[in-house]
Amino acid sequence: MRELVLSSLESEAEQLSDILLECGALSVSVEDADFNTENEKPLFGEPGTEPEVQAWTRNYVIALLPDDLTVEQLLSDLQSLTGKDFSTEAHIREVANEDWVRLTQAQFDPIQIAEYIWIVPSWHKENPQIVAANQNEKNIFIELDPGLAFGTGSHPTTHLCAEWLAKNVQQVNSVLDYGHGSGILAIIAKKLGAGNVMGVDIDEQAVTTGEYNAKNNYVDIQFMLPDGLGSGQFDIVVANILSNPLKVLAPMLAARVREGGHLVLSGVLERQADEVIDAYAPFIQLQVWQAEEGWVCLHGVK
């Protein structure tokens, strides 16, 4: 396979990407042409905020081409559709044929959290380390493959929330995982013995993924969109998202915690901790429970 690399301005990048896909490209990505220079410009939009711009000032638009699509034909189609001749600035690079499934799987090893919780991709179930760990009845195993929803267990914020749950969940507890992604924290809570466990996410794909992962791990958890949550309160509310949506959601999340219950928040950088704590101050007093690799887990009792 080959990649066609084109230069574009900010105003052209989105339209050019769409046209390349219409012309037969297998995929299109956009990169900052000034990456790793003094002119590099970060673009980042969190849920709850919109990025100021949709592309960089100068961009590389990179199209992955199928073997049966010639560069000459694609450039001719682009000129017809855009009125611009890209042939003088376009360049081609070869993409090595690889076993992409094997390479992707090799990036995800079993993850051990809080000494006895193991997150295991399905292709590692026969891993000698996992087979040996499975002999210890205390260990908890969660089968989870990387997918469309966030949450493989590898991120520090997931570690932090999972470690808090491992130290604090009791069998009588009801737990709400808000912004559940893959459902990993809800599944951990249920495996730890929590009673009623629910997950909420704004993404329908995440709800579907959570349901699949719960079924695959033989646990009973309700996953839903926010509209389906109702007005109940929980012993533990955990939300591992990002600082801006956490601040926006402060009144609602605090209201979901019963009196004497726990609120556990992560997805917050150390430098963002004070502003999140301030956002929740009218409802619940939070403090940093633990930090890892520049991220913090906040905890408070209502």
Which residues contact residue 9 at a Cβ distance below 8 angstroms, ignoring those fewer than 6 apart?
A: 57, 58, 59
Structure tokens at 128: 């000698």
- Secondary structure (H, E, C), 77-94: HHHHHHCCCCCCCCEEEE
CA nearest to 20, candidates 36, 41, 1, 5: 5
- Identify whether 85 is part of a domain: yes
From 64, 80, 97, give the residue that closes a domain.
97
From 31, 65, 97, give the residue that closes a domain.
97
Same domain, 294 and 166: yes
Which residues contact residue 5 at a Cβ distance below 8 angstroms, ignoring those fewer than 6 apart?
A: 60, 61, 62, 90, 91, 92, 93
Same domain, 159 and 289: yes
Domain span including residue 56: 2-97
Same domain, 185 and 283: yes
Q: What are phi and psi of 13, to 5 degrees?
A: -60, -45
For 26-40, 182-196, 227-241, which range has the lowest pLDDT when averaged over its residues? 26-40
- Identify whether 147 is part of a domain: no
Distance CA 92, CA 181 (A): 37
CB 216 within 8 A of CB 143: yes
Percentage above 90 pLDDT, the chain? 64
Q: For tokens 């901790």, name the residue.
A: 273
The annotated binding site is made up of 158, 179, 201, 240
Strand bridging mode 295-301 / 287-292? antiparallel
Residue-level pLDDT at 185: 96
Residue-level pLDDT at 257: 98
Residue-level pLDDT at 157: 93
Tens digit of each residue's pLDDT (9 = 90 or more) over 141-182: 888 887 655 666 778 999 999 999 999 998 878 999 999 999
Q: What is the CATH number of the domain that holds 206?
A: 3.40.50.150
Same domain, 218 and 293: yes
Q: Residue 283: which pLDDT band, with cuts at 50, 70 and 90?
A: very high
Other Cβ atoms closer than 10 A to 281:
12
Distance CA 241, CA 271 (A): 16
The annotated binding site for S-adenosyl-L-methionine is made up of 158, 179, 201, 240
Same domain, 179 and 295: yes
From 79, 97, 115, give the residue that closes a domain.
97
CB 240 within 8 A of CB 47: no
Question: pTM surpassing 0.85?
Answer: no
Give the neighbor-by-neighbor strand order of the sheet with 234-240.
222-224, 197-200, 175-178, 234-240, 257-269, 295-301, 287-292
Distance CA 207, CA 91 (A): 41
- Identify whether 88 is part of a domain: yes
Residue 219 scores a pLDDT above 90 = yes
For the chain, the domain total comes to 2
Residue-level pLDDT at 279: 98
97-106: average pLDDT: 68
